[in-house]
Amino acid sequence: MTQNQFGEMHQNMHTGTVPPQMNHGGHELFDVHEVLSNSIAALNKAMILRPHVKDPELLDILDRQYRFALDEYNITVESFKTGKDPSHPTGSYKMKEGNDFIYGMKPSQPKKPIQSPNEITDELISGFLLGSAKTSATAKTTAALETCNPVLRRVLADSIPNCIEMAYELSIYQNKHHYYQVPQLAQQDMQQILNSYASFQGQPSMPNHTIQ
């Protein structure tokens, strides 16, 4: 960058006409760096685990989520580097699983760390994938809250529901196979909590406010 180019960019920043590719705050850069690093780690983890999958249903979930997440990674990188709209909008991930959970606890063996790669199971793999989806949802939410660039903020925000959908799909898969059990409170306790809140009726009476 020449001295004139640097001077022009410095002047633009002070006048508010920042070029799109430079329209990023410092906090934003670190947060999005975290998002993209997490995305690469999740994609790499899925690729490493894929040969160990035994259940065709889990393999289908892994492949569909991998392809979708890879595309989201690409358009996030694109908008991050250019500050402009990516080559196509963020898609909407659609899971194949239903949304019925099995409630209650059944006896199961205590969980412990594995001692060998031969012990890698579909339960472990689906757990790893679920953890990646949760991490991505958290990282993208944190980044979107701090992002100055309006295009990148929208790309990140639009991606969050897809992370939630992927995590939900994996949690239902795990639940169906009794990998992820869902305990419930006693009916009386549950009912008491459900009835702890009531809707507000009528119109609020706002306090008077006088501008000094």
pLDDT digits (tens, 9 = 90+) for 35-65: 999 999 999 999 999 999 999 999 999 999 9
DSSP output for 181-212:
-B----HHHHHHHHTT-----S---PPP----
Half-sphere exposure of 12 (CA within 13 A, CB side): 13
The pLDDT value given to residue 134: 97
* 172, 195 contact by CB (below 8 A): no
Is the model more confident about 43 or about 6? 43
Sign of CA dihedral 190, 191, 197, 201: positive
pLDDT confidence band for 13 (50 / 70 / 90): very low
Residue 2 has pLDDT above 60, yes or no: no
The pLDDT value given to residue 155: 96
Q: Which CATH class is domain 22-97+120-194?
A: mainly alpha
**Cα–Cα distance, 135 to 206 (Å, whole number):** 40
In the chain, domain spans:
22-97+120-194
The pLDDT value given to residue 17: 66
The pLDDT value given to residue 93: 96
Mean pLDDT in residue range 73-102:
91
Total residue count of the chain as it appears in this document: 212
Residue 6 has pLDDT above 80, yes or no: no
**Cα–Cα distance, 201 to 68 (Å, whole number):** 43
Cβ neighbours for 129, distance < 8 A, ≥ 6 positions apart: 45, 46, 49, 61, 62, 65, 166, 170
Q: Kindly list the distances between the CA atom of residue 14 and the CA atoms of 114, 141, 208, in Å, as whole numbers in the listed order.
A: 56, 29, 39
Q: Which range (6-15, 18-27, 89-98, 183-192) has the least confidence?
A: 6-15
* 173, 126 contact by CB (below 8 A): yes
Mean pLDDT in residue range 67-88:
94
pTM, 2 dp: 0.84
Average pLDDT, the chain: 88
Mean pLDDT in residue range 70-86:
94
pLDDT digits (tens, 9 = 90+) for 114-138: 999 899 999 999 999 999 999 999 9
Residue 3 has pLDDT above 60, yes or no: no
**Cα–Cα distance, 117 to 70 (Å, whole number):** 26
The residues pairing with 56 across neighbouring beta strands, listed in sequence order, are: none
